Structure 1
């Protein structure tokens, strides 16, 4: 009888392991849908871009190298870095942002779930002794610099309503870049 239960448990663990491996290999399917949902929630968080903020608009130069990534592992590492940086920004001094609290929480939770999933995939890679490539490290550093510029903009503007709305537009753009790059992976 004990052997029968042991076999059942082993079978379930084998299935779970196989499913989690498949998840890491189907990045574009899983994340494009989730990113699209996050884009919708990002739109639900606030209203249209405030007219009084039109003069303050700024364009942040997103690292073009991200858009040129072709290797699945490079994309995974970069997407994870982008999501971590977005999550970090959206946990800082949100008092002046006039956003729907429930939508903001849903946005943060969605980001956190995707970060954890990618972290598990990347941890699996590291456990297999496949450390980050030089290309992945360079891309991560460029992304960190990009998001540091965004964070510094918020600080310089004292987390004003307009600065948060500008950042919301920029984060929307970043999420759209993720969709664009991960969609290309399936082709």
Structure 2
């Protein structure tokens, strides 16, 4: 390969890095749009919260401290982790949920795309910034395991899914609130 070929490859690599960096810089704005869309789709997926499910509500207690680290990058890592957990929960035994399938598919696709984008940005920045991994990840894992166990204990019935959907709404609203704070 001649010198011109090396220059072309170097230019391609540097432009890919610039494009990727620009994508990562605009991620909070994209994330807010994805969250707003996800909240809309969560509403569209089901109807009003069924009255018969009110007595079964569970206090899952989202660990809000995982969204309050000092570095923006750490919040990005936490949000990626949360999206992965939500995606996992909404990819399981949904037969009794009786939700709008199109809205559910769009919800899952939006989460998946956001996870992909966040992973690409987090991998790059992860070498520079360390998220207080273990404590925060364990807290998130415990929180989502509670939801998963609740669904299993209730055999993924309609009320357990509706309660989980309401909890995911609260979770996404917390992420949205934190994203708006970081922007300011």
Instruction: Determine if the TM-score, normalized by the shorter chain, exceeds 0.5.
Output: yes
- Offset at 1:109? 0.4
Aligned 1:1-187 pairs, distance under 5 A: 11=11, 13-126=13-126, 129-130=127-128, 132-133=130-131, 135-187=132-184
77-86 vs 28-37, which moves further: 28-37
TM-score by length of 2: 0.90
- Deviating beyond 6 angstroms after TM superposition, the runs of 4 or more aligned structure 1 residues are 2-9
Question: In the TM superposition, what is the alpha-carbon distance from 1:13 to its structure 2 partner?
Answer: 4.6
Structure 1: 5+ residue stretches without partners? none
Q: Which string of whole-angstrom CA distances, capped at 9 and with x for unpartnered residues, describes residues 12-41 of structure 1?
A: 553332121122233321201111111111
- The secondary structure found in structure 2 opposite 1:130 is coil
Residue 56 (structure 1) shift: 1.1
State the 1:104 CA deviation. 0.5
Q: How many angstroms does 1:5 deviate by?
A: 8.6
Going from structure 1 to structure 2, the CA distance change for 1:114 and 1:130 (only over 3 Å counts) comes to: same
Q: Structure 2 CA distance, aligned partners of 1:18 and 1:87?
A: 29
- CA RMSD, 1 decimal: 2.0
C-alpha distance after superposition, 1:137-186 (max 9, x if no partner): 32121111100010000001110000000000000000011111111111
